[in-house]
Amino acid sequence: MELANLSVLLVWGAATALAVALVAFAVDLSRLSGAKVDARDATRSRDKVAVGAGGPVDASADAPADAPAAAAGPVNRRLAGVGMSVTWLAAALLLIAIVLRGIAAGRTPWANMYEFALVGTFVAVAVFAGVNTRRDVRFLGAFVTGISVLFLVLAQQQFFVAATGVQPALQKYWLVIHVGVAICATGIFTVAFVTSVLQLLRDGRDNGSVMLGSRHWGWLDHTLTPSALESLSFRLNSVAFVLWTFTLIGGAIWAEDAWGRYWGWDPKEVWTFIPWVVYAAYLHARTTRGWSGTRAAWFVVAGYACVLFNFTGVNLIFNGKHSYSGL
Amino acid sequence: MAGRTSKDGTYVPEGIADEFTQGEPAQGASAQRAPSSGDKEQRPNRPAAPTLGLVGTLRWMWRQLTSMRVALMLLMLLAVAAVPGSVLPQRNQDAAAVIEYLADHPTAGEWLDRAGFFDVYTSVWFSAIYILLFVSLIGCILPRSMAHYRALRGRPPRVPSRFNRFPAKAFATTDASPEEVADAIATRLRGKISWLPTFRVDRGEEPARGARGASGRSEPASTGPERPPGQPSATVSAERGYLRETGNLVFHLALVGLLVSVATGQLLHYRGQAIVTEGRGFANAVVDYDTFEKGAWFRPESLVPFSMTLDRFVSEFASDTVAFAQARDFTAHVTVTEPSGEQRPEIVKVNHPLVVDGAKIYLQGNGFAPDITVRDAEGEVAFSGRVTFIPQDTMYTSRGVVKVPDVAPGLDQIGLVGYFLPTAEVEPDGSARSAFPQPVDPLLVLEVYTGDLGLDEGAPQNVYELDTASLTPAVEESGERVKVLARPGETVDLPDGLGTLTLGEELPRYVALDLRHDPSLGFVLAFSLLALGGLTVSLFTPRRRVWARAYVAQDGATVVEVAGLARGDDAGLQAEVDRALAAVPGAVERPEEADVSAEASAAARRQAREPRVETGSEED
């Protein structure tokens, strides 16, 4: 029991660390917004004049590449660095919390909704931090840490169950594989979702959206271009999609042994199938003339909504074969 | 045929945008992008003709069906159509819930029922969507497979005349001869595994350049190194990523295979449920099952006539406070007797079905089936046997029914209905419930009814329900129903002198077994894994083309140029080009050229957005 309590404390610690990281990342973004002297902004103000004069909207996407990138000098991004360090700390705390939870329960620590939320959050944070070691995606930080804090607090407040063993239907190595892979997929989908939302916002700003054109959204100019965001989102989504496909197949293999059929349109199965189809549609949309880019990004948003509903709604609303362990 | 076949033989379905992206100069560009003639082909569904005719209309419809846009629409429709099946109760999962829903919502329920909303996944509209989707898939994939089969035997595209427009490139000089350079690059590109080369590589030679080509070099900034006239060059053209399309096709074809196997399994399968108590058995025959369902192509011969006896059933429950009474383990110890007479002990557990002669036996439920003996008023045994009590909660408060029709002539038939409590807790008000699933303090609590059980009329009855409508309950003088309580080994009197009831000393357990045979399982698994493999290969295999040219420059050194082109966004392209260049013996990279190339590639990207006009070759 002491280990279990320690695990809970560590989760609160991780949530606190993520909240600190969230503040650091947010302040960093607002600083970026303030740094307004930028080739892009120069182009934009020119456009605004043109619009005001009733002229045609000139797409600003082709800002002259030879303009100085930041005439006002580099923005101080130390806070983003602080945010990254605290994010790593949070990931470490969460990992220890998960391991302790597993030891306390004497089994794999992802057998109920609470544990699923912990591990899923850990994967999202770890994927974000991992991608950041290869390229600068600190602009994602505020959103990934924000969602993670939300998940962790929600898990502690609403989904918490005491650490204990599981009933016979869950006692199989497939619990490790099937649920573990599903959690990884969910975590990666989360980061990809954030990337796609940024892509949509940036795209809206670049295309002269009135709301997104304001100074408050200036930080969007310091993210990647819409096409770079699209390509990052696609890479994450394709990894997660393969994992999700494996979740479906692994689940079917397990269901064949546990329930005597590999597929029975149980609510959880339906809501695993639906995001799979939506993400499959996304992959098709990317290569369909007229549907790539912004439209494809909306599929990611829809797909992630389905993933979230699969995780929350199906467990809480429907009564299916996946309704184990209270939550 | 739907879609179009581009000039290099690759089939491209309607509406797909999947070419090598960045501008491919010279010959390659004209073939791939086909700007002027291609535009018309890309939009064939323009309201082109009032005179389509029947064949034309059919062709138009087929093109539409196999287009990417329609596939996209069908996919989204499929996702939406799957939703109601999770919201509304479904007959094949919970028929009782459907009946309840229909009773609660008489009007809406009836209309929903007519539209198939309680059998969503077998409904006409759901089936129509996925069948259309699969027709679209086949119509798209088959021509693509044939085109890919041809492409697999093709060679990489010829070396373009100029490399300056490519998104990735590298230049170097070396002392080695052009032939050595080209051979080294070709070897590196082929990779280490001889039977599975990374790149498909063509080594070539180019004749000396003519004066006309040399004059084309006069463009500023965008030119490569100066190539003197009169010098032949050694070339390498290479392409990798054929597996990407292979994986894509394998994935889609595997989905077709999956659908066919699932459908075949539905036609051939059978499934039977049987309740077996300890010490008893059942034989694998249709008549021995309590319920039996089968596919349309099922034949009784596919039931292998083995038999099985339940020797012992063991259950374990948690007794700690955190997870009090949570199930921890269920194990059924059985003896299987093969048709040959051979016997062997086996174990069936949750999650671990027993496989006998290709049929899987699942442990789906368990409970108590106590021995109950009822003697009538004259002392004759009117009923004796094991009665299955079905657990109603996690503490195994179990409900059961005893029907005693065989009383002596002239007496009323007796019906008993009530609960078996493994660990009885009797409240002061007389109500009782079970407090733990194991038989710590077992108690049988029954209400007694008399009258005509209605069994003699031959109408089928549910053995787990007692229709008390035409029966008289036994009541106390206070008007309360009489409750007969019996503990194991006890014999108690039934009220109103009806006779006695004896609960056996032993408390036999029963298991609910589910036996299933589906010959398609292996195929379903194989096609699923094939789809997974194909998907992985198609998503993560980069498609790249790399070209190299080496020639002796005026200063006597050998100049090496390498360029790369990818399909879609490809972060690893430059690294691939650099690796190829690194294979050149004694190479000295020329950074000034790299700078030039970086700027040139930016220029190329800008140009790529504009319609390409220049497609002619300078060399021919």
Tell me the two tokens of residue B462: 């549910």
- Smallest Cα distance from B24 to chain A, Å: 19
Q: State which residue of chain A sits closest to B534, comparing Cα positions.
A: A242
Q: Which residues of A touch B349 (CB under 8 A)?
A: 168
- Does the pLDDT at position A165 exceed 50? yes
Q: Which run of H or E residues covers position B299? A: none
Chain B residues lying within 8 Å of A254, measured CB to CB:
351
- Computed over every residue of chain A, the mean pLDDT equals 83
Residue A88 pLDDT exceeds 90: yes
Name residues 223-282 of chain A within 8 A of B (Cβ): 227, 230-231, 234, 238, 241-242, 245-246, 249, 252-254, 256-267, 270-271, 273-274, 277-278, 280-281
Distances (CA, A) of A200 to A207, A225, A228, A293, B404: 10, 11, 12, 9, 73
Residues of A in contact with B18 (CB under 8 A): 287
Q: Which pLDDT does position B619 carry in this prediction?
A: 33
Which segment of A230-239, B64-73, B306-315 scores lowest on mean pLDDT?
Answer: B64-73
Over residues A161-188, the mean pLDDT reads 86
Min Cα distance A205 → chain B (Å) is: 21
- List, for residues B418-466, the tens digit of each pLDDT value: 999 999 988 887 788 889 999 999 999 999 998 888 777 767 777 788 8
Q: Which of B45, B351, B517 to mutate to test the interface with A (most CBs of A within 10 A)?
A: B351
What's the pLDDT tens digit per position in A20-75?
999 999 999 888 877 654 444 444 444 443 333 333 333 333 433 333 344 445 66
Q: Which residue has the higher pLDDT, B375 or B411?
A: B375
Interface of A with B in 167-206 (CB under 8 A): 167-169, 171-172
* pLDDT for the residue B461: 74
Contacts of A188 in chain B (CB under 8 A): none
Q: Which of B40, B75, B78, B118 to mutate to test the interface with A (most CBs of A within 10 A)?
A: B75
Residue B12 binned pLDDT confidence (cut-offs 50, 70, 90): low
State the virtual CA torsion across B564, B568, B570, B573 in degrees, nearest 10. -10
- The DSSP line for B163-187 is -TTSSEEEEEEESS-HHHHHHHHHH
What DSSP string runs through A85-140?
A: HHHHHHHHHHHHHHHHHHHHHTS-S-SSHHHHHHHHHHHHHHHHHHHHHHS--GGG
Distance, in angstroms, between A172 CA and closest chain B CA?
Answer: 7
Q: Residue A223 — very low, low, confident or very high, per pLDDT cuts 50/70/90?
A: confident
B76 secondary structure, DSSP code: H
Mean pLDDT in residue range A240-246 = 97
Q: What is the pLDDT of residue A73?
A: 53
Nearest-CA distance from A26 to chain B in Å? 29
> Mean pLDDT over residues A122-149, rounded?
92
Query: Residue with structure tokens 């062997």?
Result: B344
Q: Is the ipTM of this complex over 0.90?
A: no
Mean pLDDT score, B206-227: 49
Band of pLDDT at residue B23, cut at 50, 70 and 90: very low
Mean pLDDT of B341-358: 91
Amino acid identity, position B507: L
Among A287, A318, A319, most B C-beta atoms within 10 A, so best to mutate, is A287
The shortest CB-CB distance from B69 to any of A162, A258, A288 is to A288
Q: What is the mean pLDDT of residues A246-252?
A: 95
Cβ distance B93 to A264 less than 8 Å, yes or no, reads yes
- Write out the H or E segment, with its range, that includes residue B587: none
Contact (CB<8Å) A266/B93 = yes
Task: Reply yes or no on whether the pLDDT at B28 is more than 90.
Answer: no
What are the strands, taking DSSP E only, across B116-249? Answer: 168-174, 200-206, 233-240
What confidence score (pLDDT) does residue A37 get? Answer: 42
Cα B400 to Cα B419: distance, rounded to the nearest angstrom: 6
Say whether A252 and B536 touch across the interface (CB within 8 A): no
State how far the alpha carbon of B187 is from the alpha carbons of B56, B234, B583, in Å.
Answer: 51, 14, 8
Partner residue facing A265 (CB), from B121, B326, B529 = B121
Closest Cβ–Cβ partner in A265, A280, A285 for B90: A265
| Between residues B482 and B135, the one the model is more confident about | B135
Q: Is the pLDDT of residue B70 over 50?
A: yes
Q: Where on the phi/psi map is residue A293: left (φ > 0), alpha (ψ -120 to 50), or beta?
A: left
> What's the mean pLDDT in B216-224?
40
Nearest C-alpha neighbor of B234 from the set B558, B554, B545: B558
CA angle B165, B171, B174 (to 5 degrees): 155
- Contact A5/B at CB under 8 A: no
Q: How far is A166 from chain B (nearest CA, A)?
A: 7
pLDDT band for A161, please (50, 70, 90 cuts): confident
Substitution target in A284, A304, A307, A310 with the highest count of B β-carbons within 10 Å is A284
Mean pLDDT of chain B: 82
Q: Which residues of B touch A288 (CB under 8 A)?
A: 15-17, 68-69, 72
Contact A61, A47 (CB under 8 A): no
| Facing residue for A281 by CB, picked from B15, B72, B536 | B72
Q: What is the pLDDT of residues B525-564, one digit of tens each?
A: 999 999 999 999 999 998 899 999 998 888 888 889 999 9
Return the exposure string of A176-212: e unless at least 16 CB atoms fall within 10 Å of the residue's CB, then b: ebbbbbbbbbbbbbbbbbbbbbbbbbbbbbbebeeeb
Residue in A262, A270, A291 closest to B524 by CB: A262
pLDDT of residue A44: 45
- In this structure, the strands spanning B270-277 and B168-174 are unpaired
Residues of chain A contacting B326 with CB distance shorter than 8 Å: 164-165, 167
Residue numbers in A near B136 (CB within 8 A): none
What is the average per-residue pLDDT within A232-250? 95
Q: Please give, rounded to a whole number of angstroms, the shortest distance from the CA of B432 to a CA of chain A.
A: 25
Interatomic CA distance for residues A190 and A304, integer angstroms = 7
pLDDT tier, B480 (very low <50, low <70, confident <90, very high otherwise): confident
Q: How close B391 comes to chain A (CA, Å)? A: 17
Region B173-196: mean pLDDT is: 88
Percentage above 90 pLDDT, chain B: 40
The 10s digit of each residue's pLDDT in B82-140 is 999 988 999 888 888 899 999 999 999 999 999 999 999 999 999 999 999 999 999 98
Residues contacting A20, CB < 8 A, separation 6+? A86
Q: Are A288 and B42 a contacting pair at CB < 8 A?
A: no
Does the distance separating the beta carbons of B539 and A241 come in below 8 Å? yes
pLDDT band, residue A113 (cuts 50/70/90): confident
Report pLDDT for A57. 37
Mean pLDDT across B345-369: 91
Given a contact cutoff of 8 angstroms between Cβ atoms, the answer to whether B147 and B11 are in contact is: yes
* Contact map slice: A 11-70 vs B, CB within 8 A: 62, 65
User: Could B83 and A270 be called an inter-chain contact, meaning their C-beta atoms sit closer than 8 Å?
Assistant: yes
Of A163, A165, A238, the CB nearest to B328: A165
Does B346 score more than 90 pLDDT? yes
- pLDDT-based confidence at A3, cuts 50/70/90? confident
Backbone angles phi and psi of A216, in degrees to 5: -60, -25
Partners of residue A324 in chain B, C-beta under 8 Å: none
CB A145 within 8 A of CB A18: yes
Q: Answer whether A288 sits within 8 Å of B78, measured CB to CB.
A: no
E runs forming strands in B440-479: 443-451, 471-473
**Burial of B480 by CB count in 10 Å (0-12 exposed, 13-18 middle, 19+ buried)?**
exposed
Closest CA–CA distance from residue A165 to any residue of chain B (Å): 8
Contact between B351 and A65 using a beta-carbon 8 Å cutoff: no
With CB atoms and an 8 Å threshold, state whether A164 touches B318. yes
Q: Is B323 close to A231, i.e. CB distance below 8 A? A: no
The whole-angstrom separation of Cα A47 and Cα B222 is 31
Each residue's pLDDT tens digit, B289-339: 888 888 888 888 878 889 999 999 999 998 887 778 888 889 999 999 998
CB B447 within 8 A of CB B418: yes
- N-to-C CA span, chain B: 35
Closest chain B residue to A257 measured between Cα atoms? Answer: B351
The more confident residue out of A227 and A57 is: A227
When pLDDT is cut at 50, 70 and 90, the band that residue A234 belongs to is very high
Q: Which residues of B touch A242 (CB under 8 A)?
A: 532, 535-536, 539
Residue B314, CA distances (Å) to B239, B282, B364, B371, B510 in order:
63, 19, 14, 18, 10
Please give the Cα distance from B145 to B242 (Å, whole number).
Answer: 12
Tell me how many residue pairs between chain A and chain B have CB atoms under 8 A apart: 135
Query: Which residues on A lie below 8 Å from B90 (Cβ)?
Result: 265
Residue A244 tokens, joined: 């999700």
Instruction: Name the residue with tokens 């099946």.
Output: B85
Determine, for residues A172 and B360 on separate chains, whether the beta-carbon distance falls below 8 Å. no
